[in-house]
A and B are shown apart, each in its own frame.
Chain A
Amino acid sequence: MDFTALPHKYQDDPYLSPKTFTESVIFSLSLNSGSTAAKYFINSNSKFFTKDFSEPHIPCLMPENVSLRLEEVSEEALKERIHVRKVKAAVDLYDQLLQAGTAVSMETTHDLLDLICLYCDKDPVQEGQPVSEDLSKERGKEAQKSRWHTLLSKQSLNSSWKKNKNAERIFNLLPERDTRCYSALIRGMVMHGAPAKAFSFYTDMLNHRLKPDIHIFNALISAAPHVNTNSQDRSEAIIKLLKEMNQQNVQPNLQTFNNVLRSLKYCPPYNRSLSLTTMAEMKALGIAPSLASYNHILSIFTKQVSGKPGITDVLEEIMSELAGKSFTCQDPDDVSFFLNAMKLCWAEKDLELAYKVQSLVEVGENWRLLGHHYMQNVYYGCFFRLQCMMEHIDVVLKWFRQHYPSLYYPTHGEILYLLRALEMDGRLDLLPSVWKDICSLQYEFKETIIEELLSLMTQEKHSLEVQKSFGECALDVKKMIDQNVHGVDFKWSNSALSNLILLLVRADMTQQAWNMLQLFKSKNRVPREDLIEEFLMVCRSSGSPDGAVKLVQLSSAFGLSATPRLAKFTLAKFKLTDEQRSELSELESAESPEKETL
């Protein structure tokens, strides 16, 4: 996958390119909402867009006919409504046709039933139109939280079959019912949460000696776990359905096997052997398993058993079988395979396996199967964390610079992993460059990150240039936090503030250090003792006795226990005036009664 630049939909401009995950999602959403707004205008004012001078004709650039042309009560009008997917209008027209006595052809009835059952007797939410009142009431608060999830799955998943009055009514009105009618109803029931009814319809169908088709079996197999309660019943139901399929001479397809594997997830502990036999059957019939099948097998074998040795054997075998193959999307569950595989590698800390998974992603067009934005980010996040823990820092940083910001946006937890990796490999001099990335990710107000960063920088003394760069970085940290672009209330902790000033002292920026010392009082924080001590040393080497006296006074103001020791040190090592001497001896003796009691 191309990591050299951002995806093409974003404009190639620093102001307009996303630097954090939320920005990338919200920019692509606003792009799409702009197009939907334009499509709304185009479809509502279609007379301005109908002039067709393109050669050859481009159908996707013409306005869509949203309004219905045929108004009379006829089968043609019914077909049109079904084609445009207006469920309520179609049902009304069908009723009118029946009342008028005109016969509706079997095909049209089949299409009508399919339509009603697919959309559960509700009009689907059209693109670019406002969500209807009842739908939005139903979804309520959830809609506001996960608006884009509901946009992805245009139908409300909480729609219930009970609210569907028309499907069964029309079904019962039919003089003769064949397999397709039953098929529409059964699949609709399974999709919209009435699995028990689906099974009763199925037995009904068998009683009428009709032959079920492959879609009915697929739907029933996926509904089986929801009808039965314990694992044994579930697995037996699935096996029974497969045997009946065999009896009726219906050939299974990929969807059948994927549904079997998905339903087997609900029946531990029978599922291990059954899933392997399913895979063997698939191979015997010559159906190539899709990534969804491997995904289900992975979940079956690795559920709730983390920590045991040999858990990654399944994934190893799968990877060796899949190496170098390219896949297309054949099942909605295909997209979870890579994510689950990488999550497993992270849980078991297996870097080799992670590299194998990544190399499979890089084959051909397999990157399309990584799923949507969020799944992709979690996938790369797991990979990055694994690399931080186990790889050399140069490799980690190279991967990071390549993949951020074009493909991957680290979370602040992952930045902490990166900082720890820098510490482990002793490359703390790279911290200022990582700080720049932290700023562009807009994590500069996260207290954990600031604390970790500052404490790492003050851990040990480095060479002069490195110290200077740390000092610059510390000033930059302060500046960014003061700017407070995000309006977040940042709370300095004692150690963070002390570390900041320590860095300035070590980088010979004493004037700024003095200014920052005043912050302790204003923010109600207490400086650490080693800060005062080191500052005192610096004052000694630069020869400023006034500064030293001020420091000791400061430490006594904060009630630090080291005050007498510092006062003694100052008296001994500095050239002081008599006033200063008297003050300091006061401070030295003031604390000593406490010292004696200790």
Chain B
Amino acid sequence: MAVSLGSAGSMRLLRSIIRSGSLCSSSGSRSLHVTAVCCKSSAGRFRRGKGDTPVTYEQAHAPHYIGHRKGWLSQNTSNLKGVKDAADRTVEDMFIRRFIAGTFHSCLADELVIKRRGNMIILCAIMLQKLLPIKMYFLIGYTETLLSHLYKCPVKLEIQTIENKVIYKWF
């Protein structure tokens, strides 16, 4: 049930609330919307619609299947006891994912897998054969150098190519 305290037309309600002193909104020109709590998790899930959206294995499985039917996309030791800077690793991962998605535009067949080994970052990607190999190599050289200079550690790209995206299900 949404309770809206709009300024026009409900002056009586506003006056009564100000009199009761329970809610204080300054001069009545701002409004506050609240919704009821929805006790349902919706993170990382593909909503079923008609059966016309192709969906990969990664997308089809919800996050509670990680460790059971799915692997990890981001592999580092920052979540072990006594290891610091987990947030920094996460932010770096987010940046790297967006960077690769933009550089290899619409070439990624599935999510990027980021592995941290020693001081190296290894990016494993499955790409579509959309670009000529010459162009792929140019972009590979470019990303490796740029990310190495940005994160001050060796960054390696390991790419496998497939012809089409692998469709697991239709949602």
- Interface residues, chain A, CB within 8 Å of chain B? 11-13, 15-16, 18, 23, 26-28, 30-35, 37-39, 41-42, 48-49, 52-54, 58, 61-63
Q: In the bound complex, how far is the Cα of B145 from the Cα of A48, in angstroms?
A: 14
Cβ of B129 within 8 Å of any chain A Cβ, yes or no, is yes
Assign chain B's interface to a size class. 20 to 34
Asked if B118 is an interface residue, CB under 8 A from chain A, the answer is no
Question: From A53, which residue of chain B is reached at the shortest CB distance?
Answer: B152
- Given known A52-B152, A54-B152, contact A30–B138 (CB-CB < 8 A): yes
B158 to A34, Cβ gap below 8 A?
no
| B159 pairs with A34, CB closer than 8 A | no
The answer to whether B161 touches A15, judged by C-beta atoms less than 8 angstroms apart, is: yes
Which residues of chain A come closer than 8 Å to B143, judged between CB atoms? 34, 38
How far does the alpha carbon of A32 sit from the alpha carbon of B139 in the complex, in Å? 10
A31 touches B140 (CB 8 A): yes
Complex Cα–Cα for A369 and B66 (A): 50
Interfacial chain A residues near B134, Cβ < 8 Å: 26-27, 30
Cβ-defined contact, A30 with B141, below 8 A: yes
Other than the given A54-B153, A61-B149, A62-B149, 10 more pairs (CB < 8 A) read: A30-B134, A30-B137, A31-B138, A34-B137, A34-B144, A35-B144, A35-B145, A37-B142, A42-B145, A54-B152
Q: Closest residue of chain A to B161, judged by CB?
A: A15
User: Quick check: A16 and B148 within 8 Å, CB to CB?
Assistant: no
Residues of chain B within 8 A of A28, CB atoms compared: 137
Query: A15 CA to B159 CA in the complex, in Å?
Result: 10
Provide the B132-171 mask, 1 if CB < 8 A to any CB of A, else 0: 0111111111111110111011000111110000000000
Measured CB to CB, the closest approach of chain A to B123, in angstroms, equals 12
Which of B135, B150, B153, B159 is A11 in contact with, Cβ under 8 Å?
B159
Task: Please give, as numbers and ranges, the residues of chain B lying within 8 Å of A52 by CB-CB distance.
Answer: 152
Report B-chain residues with C-beta under 8 Å of the C-beta of A58.
Answer: 152
Q: Which residues of A contact B153 (CB under 8 A)?
A: 54, 61
Q: A15-B133, A49-B150, A61-B149 are in contact. Are A34 and B161 (CB under 8 A)?
A: no
CA–CA, A171 to B160, complex, Å?
60
Whether the Cβ atoms of B145 and A38 lie closer than 8 Å is yes
Measured between beta carbons, the chain A residues less than 8 angstroms from B146 are 38, 41-42
CA gap between A593 and B143 in the complex, in Å: 80
Identity of the chain A residue whose Cβ is nearest the Cβ of B129 in the assembled complex: A15
Instruction: Assess whether B140 is in contact with A11, with CB atoms less than 8 Å apart.
Output: yes
What residues on B are CB-neighbors of A34 within 8 Å?
137-145
Within the assembled complex, what's the spacing in Å between the Cα atoms of A250 and B140? Answer: 51
The answer for the CA separation of A61 and B155 in the assembled complex, in Å, is 11
| Interface hub of B140, B144, B160 (most chain A Cβ within 10 A) | B140
Knowing A26-B134, A49-B150, A53-B152 touch, does A11 contact B141 (C-beta < 8 A)?
A: no
Q: Given B133, B157, B158, which contacts A27 in the complex, CB threshold below 8 Å? A: B133
User: Are A38 and B149 also in contact (CB < 8 A) when A16-B136, A27-B137 are?
Assistant: yes
Please state if A38 and B141 are interface contacts (CB–CB under 8 Å): yes
**CA–CA, A109 and B3, complex, Å:** 83
Given A38-B149, A49-B150, the answer on whether A16 and B161 have CB atoms closer than 8 Å is yes
- CB pair B158–A38 under 8 Å, yes or no, is no
Task: Give the complex CA separation of A134 and B159 in angstroms.
Answer: 41
Tell me if B152 and A63 are in contact (CB < 8 A).
no
Q: CA of A38 to CA of B142 in the docked complex: distance in angstroms?
A: 5
Q: Is the CB of B149 within 8 A of A42?
A: yes
Report the bound CA distance from A30 to B150 in whole Å.
21
- Complex interface: chain A residues within 8 A of B145 (CB): 34-35, 38-39, 42
| Nearest 7 interchain pairs by C-beta | A34-B141, A38-B145, A54-B152, A34-B142, A31-B141, A34-B138, A35-B145
Assembled-state Cα–Cα distance A278/B129 (Å): 59
> Is the pair A61, B137 in contact by a Cβ cutoff of 8 Å?
no
Interface residues of B in 84-141 (CB under 8 A from A): 129, 133-141
Question: Looking across the interface, which residue of chain B has its beta carbon closest to that of A12?
Answer: B158
Name the residue on A nearest B85 (C-beta).
A53
Structural contact, B152 and A16, CB atoms closer than 8 A: no
Give Cα distance in the complex from A172 to B134, angstroms: 52
The CA-CA distance from A458 to B56 in the complex, in Å, is: 51
Q: Which of A16, A27, A41, A63 contacts B159 (CB 8 A)?
A: A16
Chain B hits for A54, CB < 8 A? 152-153
B residues within 8 A CB of A16?
Answer: 133, 136-137, 159, 161
Name the distance in Å between B6's Cβ and chain A's nearest Cβ.
46
Chain A residues with CB under 8 Å of B160's CB are 13
Instruction: Pick the contact of A61: B136, B141, B148, B159 (CB < 8 A).
Output: B148
Q: Contact at B149–A31, with CB atoms within 8 Å?
A: no
User: When chains A and B are docked, how far (Å) is the Cα of A13 from the Cα of B137?
Assistant: 12
Could you say which residues of chain B place their CB within 8 Å of the CB of A12?
158
Give Cα A20–Cα B89 distance, bound, in whole angstroms. Answer: 41
A residues near B133, Cβ cutoff 8 Å? 15-16, 18, 23, 27
Q: How far is the CA of A28 from the CA of B137 in the complex (A)?
A: 8
Q: How far is the CB of B85 from chain A (nearest CB, A)?
A: 10
Which residues on B sit within 8 Å (CB–CB) of A23? 133
CA A58 to CA B145, docked complex, whole Å: 14
Q: Could you show 17 A-B contacts with beta carbons less than 8 Å apart?
A: A11-B159, A12-B158, A18-B133, A30-B134, A30-B138, A33-B138, A34-B140, A34-B144, A35-B144, A38-B141, A38-B144, A38-B149, A39-B145, A49-B150, A58-B152, A61-B148, A61-B153
- Do the beta carbons of A32 and B149 come within 8 Å of each other? no
Q: Which residues of B sit under 8 angstroms from A41, Cβ to Cβ? A: 146
Q: How far is the CA of A221 from the CA of B109 in the complex (A)?
A: 62
From residue B148, how far is it (CB to closest CB) to chain A in Å?
Answer: 6
Contacts of A18 in B (CB 8 A): 133
Q: How far is the CB of A36 from chain B (nearest CB, A)?
A: 8
A487 CB to nearest chain B CB (Å): 15
Choose among B135, B142, B149 the residue that contacts A63 (Cβ–Cβ < 8 A): B149
Cα–Cα distance between A62 and B149 once the two chains are bound (Å): 6
Minimum CB–CB distance from B149 to chain A (whole Å) comes to 5
Check B158–A11 contact: CB distance below 8 A: yes
Q: Which residues of B lie under 8 Å from residue A63 when comparing CB positions?
A: 149
Q: Give the residue among A11, A33, A39, A63 with the most B Cβ atoms within 10 A.
A: A11
Q: Which residues of B contact A61 (CB under 8 A)?
A: 148-149, 152-153
A11: B residues at CB distance < 8 A: 136-137, 140, 157-159
